[in-house]
Structure 1
Amino acid sequence: MERLRQDDPARIGDLVALARLDAEGSRGVPERRYLARSVDGGHTVLACLPPPGGDPARWAGEVQQAARLTQPGFWPVAQIGGTPAFPWYASPYRPVLPLPAALAAYGGPLPEPLVRTLGGTLAEALASAHVLGIVHGGVCPAGVLLTACGPLLGCFGATRANPVAAASPAQATGLETGCLAPETAAGGAPDRAADVYALGAVLAYAATGHTVPERQEIPAGLRDIVTACRSRAPEDRPEPARVLAELLPGAAYGALAGATEPVSLPGRVVEALSRQSAEVLAAALPTQGR
Structure 2
Amino acid sequence: MKVVRRPARWFGEAPAEGCGAIGSKAAHLSRLAGVVRTPPGFYVRPLCRPGGGVPGVPVTTLRRMYDRLGDHCGRPDVPVAVSVSAVGAGRRRAYTFLNVQGEEALQTAAAECAAALPGPGAGGVVMVQRLVPATWTAVLRPAGASSAEGGAVEVRACWGLGEDLAADEDRFDSYLVSRRDLAVLERSVADKRVMTVADCGGTARAEVPVARRRRACLDDRQLRRVTRLTAAVYRQLGQPVELTVCCSEGRIHVLVCRSANGDGDGVRSRHDTSR
> TM-score, length-normalised on structure 2?
0.31
> TM-score, length-normalised on structure 1?
0.29
Structure in which a larger fraction of residues adopt strand: 2
